[in-house]
């Protein structure tokens, strides 16, 4: 049996590793459109995203963190090995997807990894339906609302700008897209940034370092900072797929997509609903592209991305179960 202090250290380090990967592979989704429209160079966009991810995680409350930490698997019947298995699942799955340039959802990897690992350690009673309801609602927010908002906002902009010159549109939205990219990065921190804070705090509770589930400010700063460092490493493969391959984007399109995705994310964060930034921005871009003409969206690329999203749940649940089962024997 591993020493409790050693296992807690491993669990906390694994959470930070997963948070780093989240910043490296998921946060680039928030700035993909502003880079693809050449409004900002990638280096500047990455720094902006890093700073605003921290801000979003710090100032929007901890409702999402509480959902992840307390309402997905029962903290009273799991142990630290579940945390380690779930975090290793995220690192493995996200790294493989990043290698192929496929944007994935760390949110769904996290939920699925926790579920699979929890089932391996404690069986079906570990699952909490209240949290899973929020996860299922989040699927709707990130897909239906992302696409719908993209169509609605882009349609409104087409009508408002129907008599405007192309030079005016390009100049105006080149400036406005900086604000919408900042909004998207902030909203990413408000939702994705909170998730790993919740898991980190859960690990402290399970390790006996805290008696109740209250997220300390130092945990928020640590996790937010690690995510920012991960974001600073970029993620050009993901930016290229999301920003360039789904549809051709001009600044006005990028503004509409970022605004649509950010609104959906912040609305979900307000109610403690964990969702996928990847899904939000991806479906928003599809919605924006479809308003120009249906064929403007490269549906073959979109289909590959969506299929990866679908596979993520069962694959990460299975991987979490396998890793937790191995740790159960080893520890």
Q: What is the pLDDT of residue 237?
A: 66
User: DSSP labels for 124-162?
Assistant: GGGB-HHHHHHHHHHHHIIIIIHHHHHHHHHHHHHHHTT
Q: What is the pLDDT of residue 286?
A: 85
Give 10-residue mean pLDDT values along the chain (331 residues). Answer: 77 94 75 80 80 78 77 85 95 86 79 92 87 80 84 94 90 91 84 82 90 85 83 68 70 90 83 78 84 77 76 93 91 71
Q: How far apart are CA 327 and CA 331, in angstroms?
A: 6
Q: What is the pLDDT of residue 200?
A: 93
Q: How far apart are CA 2 and CA 331, in angstroms?
A: 6
Q: What is the pLDDT of residue 1?
A: 47
Q: DSSP character for 198?
A: H
pTM surpassing 0.75? yes
Q: What is the pLDDT of residue 13?
A: 96
In the structure encoding, which two tokens stand for residue 14, read together? 């694994």
Closest CA to 297 of 147, 174, 191, 181: 147
Q: How far apart are CA 275 and CA 118, in angstroms?
A: 20
Q: How far apart are CA 71 and CA 128, in angstroms?
A: 6
């Amino acid at each position: 049996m591993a020493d409790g202090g050693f296992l807690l250290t491993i669990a906390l380090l694994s959470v930070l590793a997963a948070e780093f990967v989240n910043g490296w592979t998921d946060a680039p989704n928030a700035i993909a459109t502003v880079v693809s429209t050449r409004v900002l160079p990638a280096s500047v966009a990455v720094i902006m995203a890093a700073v605003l991810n921290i801000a979003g995680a710090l100032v929007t409350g901890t409702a999402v963190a509480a959902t992840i930490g307390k309402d997905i698997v029962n903290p009273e019947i799991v142990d630290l090995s579940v945390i380690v298995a779930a975090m290793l699942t995220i690192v493995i799955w996200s790294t493989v997807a990043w290698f192929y340039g496929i944007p994935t959802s760390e949110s769904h990897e996290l939920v699925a990894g926790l579920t699979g690992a929890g089932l391996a350690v404690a069986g079906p009673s570990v699952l909490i339906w209240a949290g899973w309801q929020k996860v299922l609602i989040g699927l709707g927010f990130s897909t239906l609302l992302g696409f719908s908002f993209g169509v609605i906002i882009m349609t409104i902009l087409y009508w408002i700008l129907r008599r405007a010159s192309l030079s005016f549109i390009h100049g105006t939205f080149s400036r406005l897209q900086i604000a919408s990219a900042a909004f998207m990065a902030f909203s990413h921190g408000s939702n994705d940034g909170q998730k790993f804070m919740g898991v980190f705090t859960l690990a402290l509770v399970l390790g006996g370092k805290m008696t109740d589930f209250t997220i300390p400010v130092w945990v928020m700063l640590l996790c937010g900072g690690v995510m920012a460092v991960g974001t600073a490493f970029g993620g050009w493969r993901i930016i290229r797929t999301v920003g360039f391959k789904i549809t051709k984007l001009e600044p006005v399109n990028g503004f509409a997509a970022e605004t649509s995705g950010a609104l959906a994310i912040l609305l979900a964060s307000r109610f403690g609903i964990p969702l996928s930034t990847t899904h939000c921005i991806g479906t928003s871009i599809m919605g924006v592209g479809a308003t120009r003409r249906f064929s403007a969206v490269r549906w073959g690329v979109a289909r590959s991305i969506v299929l990866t999203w679908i596979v993520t749940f069962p694959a990460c649940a299975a991987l979490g179960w396998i890793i937790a089962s191995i740790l159960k024997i080893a520890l």
